[in-house]
Structure 1
């Protein structure tokens, strides 16, 4: 008899919620067959069997939140199935009587994505001492840059440009690409060696942060194509764990809404910073066009001066942006 366990699904994933069992007790399964759907890090994934045999017992049921490494079911061969059946016959079932509950109110349940978002935001406010700084950015070169590439890359958005520029800026300011770790007297700061930018995406199911891995190694065109695919998958509820894990810095862009001049976002744990992007106010004279950026930070990792230096660097990159000689890349004057 072998144990089916909740698998490890990423460095920061500690639990998984069983959404749906795809098998029942007594079912025969082969190695590689899907056993159950689990929800973690805002996506649903199917867990496959590592063994061939019969499901003897399902320990955790749908809706249970299970720590990684915990046994969720038992699987065995024919002899073990027979022995297990005899043991079950000797068990005396307990009868229970349930009384109807009369509700005097309506409860609107959160879907899985909104539930996880609520839990993470509550954790962020409760555990992270946060502060914010804002900067008004001249946007004329940014507008010209996007417009200059629109014919060649019609799907380009300002988010693509911000992902690329923020990635380059983080290379110079590593404490914003970091995480606070430890408890009590054993405290430290983890500096990530790769830069994985998360982008908040609005979907019918709720807010999802998709991840652009190792952005400093990617061209603006690669980022455009990746964003297009990730958003398509987010809208279709077909993201996998790789698409939403290991984010080291997040961007939240509400610039597409005409009423949002600027806003502050909540740090997404275990990250140390998040950038909120407001709308671009475009003037007839482009030199007067501008946008607001607001940076929210974990004060345990980043102090005010460090945050200001990051914002100065990012402001310089945005205001000095231009196309390179091939017309496809980023160049800062």
Structure 2
């Protein structure tokens, strides 16, 4: 049976084989991890779809091929499989007849050694690159991965602990692939879009009341806490109907306006970069639905289970730094979107309450919502009006009814 590069998403045309978990001759069991695939956005484990013996690996680690290309062949012991492998191998030999058989054997043997540590565990391309760039032997590391496999984190930890500059105490920590992609995107975004930041304070009394009323029962039923984020997401989805130029992309000198809201939620990967999974058709969902989908996508992101389609098609992004108690954040726009919203820490503060009976002071949960927007697409008045409407919606909506 042919093992092919799987369909990784509607928008993905190719993938890179990061690592093979089996070598030629190994027994493969259906459902166990066979190889890892990476794209420019995500890395995922691909399980075997059938059981048998791994007879041939046609695409080596680090090679990038199109969707549908045959990567390997698994035999179930039938004669047809043996003939298929023989034909495939013969074709490969004919296509590379400029090299001698002995040279090929030597090169292949060297590749196999370089791609595995002394214990036989495979080394992914990023691990091999980090080891080579820093002149480190895999024998110097204790792998924390499955079966003692060396991970990127193991190499970075080794660098952090052992490569101090003895003259001034500095340490060199190379960017990993996620950090490199993040850096590239951030620099490009700041170069393309003239960023402007605006912010409003929000009294979360109404939201917090709903959270407190349902908090314990919610966590018992769903296994996670009901945070402020799904309420903010719902407010955006309601308000954006009157501000279509924000739920949009900038393309050349035009705006593409979207009827539906595909809401990106920035997820931190334990301080090792971030990804932005997308809630499709978020404007059709309730607060409860948004809460469950935010939690589900965030959990998949942290466990590297996202597929590319789950990070594609976003029309607006929310970045949540509130869990760390930040006061205000100036987020960088997720290109080619028009704007991005930051939610920061919520703290108890004195708030002036106005009524027909006069002013009074109460202690309320207050936080800041800040929006960075592309000044090519909208002006300050438009953005400010949008933020005011979100604030008013969060403060005035009867969230108890929405959740029940």
State whether TM-score is above 0.5. yes
- Number of equivalenced pairs: 315
Q: Given the two structures, how large is their TM-score scaled by the length of structure 1?
A: 0.75
Residues in 1 aligned to 2:197 and 2:19: alpha-carbon distance in whole angstroms = 41
Residues in 2 aligned to 1:163 and 1:263: alpha-carbon distance in whole angstroms = 17
Which residue in 1 is equivalent to 2:257? 191
Which residue in 1 is equivalent to 2:403? 328
Q: Which runs of 5+ in 2 are unaligned?
A: 74-82, 108-131, 136-162, 166-170, 220-224, 351-360
Relative to 1, partners in 2 of residues 1:124 and 1:26: Cα closer, same or farther, differing over 3 Å? farther
- The answer to whether structure 1 residue 318 and structure 2 residue 394 are counterparts is yes
- The answer to whether structure 1 residue 91 and structure 2 residue 158 are counterparts is no
Residues in 2 aligned to 1:82 and 1:208: alpha-carbon distance in whole angstroms = 40
Structure with more of its chain in helix, by fraction: 2
How is 1:1-333 mapped onto 2 (pairs within 5 angstroms)? 9-11=9-11, 16-21=15-20, 37-40=36-39, 42-45=41-44, 57-58=58-59, 62-63=61-62, 66=64, 77=84, 80-81=87-88, 83-84=90-91, 86-87=93-94, 88=96, 90-92=98-100, 93=103, 107-154=172-219, 155-182=225-252, 187-204=253-270, 205-258=272-325, 260-283=326-349, 286=362, 289-325=365-401, 328=403
Q: With CA pairs under 8 Å and 6+ residues apart, which has the higher RCO, 1 or 2?
A: 1
2:5, 2:15 within 8 Å by CA — same for their partners in 1?
no
Relative to 1, partners in 2 of residues 1:217 and 1:298: Cα closer, same or farther, differing over 3 Å? same
Note the C-alpha offset of 1:165.
1.1
Equivalent position SS for 1:175: coil
Relative to 1, partners in 2 of residues 1:41 and 1:209: Cα closer, same or farther, differing over 3 Å? farther
Residues in 1 aligned to 2:187 and 2:176: alpha-carbon distance in whole angstroms = 17
Note the C-alpha offset of 1:10.
4.2
2:276, 2:311 within 8 Å by CA — same for their partners in 1?
yes
Q: Which has the larger radius of gyration?
A: 2
Note the C-alpha offset of 1:317.
0.5
Relative to 1, partners in 2 of residues 1:82 and 1:295: Cα closer, same or farther, differing over 3 Å? closer
Relative to 1, partners in 2 of residues 1:55 and 1:304: Cα closer, same or farther, differing over 3 Å? farther
Residues in 2 aligned to 1:250 and 1:85: alpha-carbon distance in whole angstroms = 47
Equivalent position SS for 1:307: helix
2:44, 2:305 within 8 Å by CA — same for their partners in 1?
no
Residues in 2 aligned to 1:102 and 1:114: alpha-carbon distance in whole angstroms = 18
1:177, 1:192 within 8 Å by CA — same for their partners in 2?
yes
Structure with more of its chain in strand, by fraction: 1
Note the C-alpha offset of 1:188.
2.4
Q: Given the two structures, how large is their TM-score scaled by the length of structure 2?
A: 0.63
Residues in 1 aligned to 2:36 and 2:266: alpha-carbon distance in whole angstroms = 24
Relative to 1, partners in 2 of residues 1:47 and 1:175: Cα closer, same or farther, differing over 3 Å? farther
Which residue in 1 is equivalent to 2:356? none
2:56, 2:85 within 8 Å by CA — same for their partners in 1?
no
Q: Which runs of 5+ in 1 are unaligned?
A: none
Residues in 1 aligned to 2:22 and 2:8: alpha-carbon distance in whole angstroms = 21
Residues in 2 aligned to 1:215 and 1:226: alpha-carbon distance in whole angstroms = 9
Residues in 2 aligned to 1:57 and 1:42: alpha-carbon distance in whole angstroms = 24
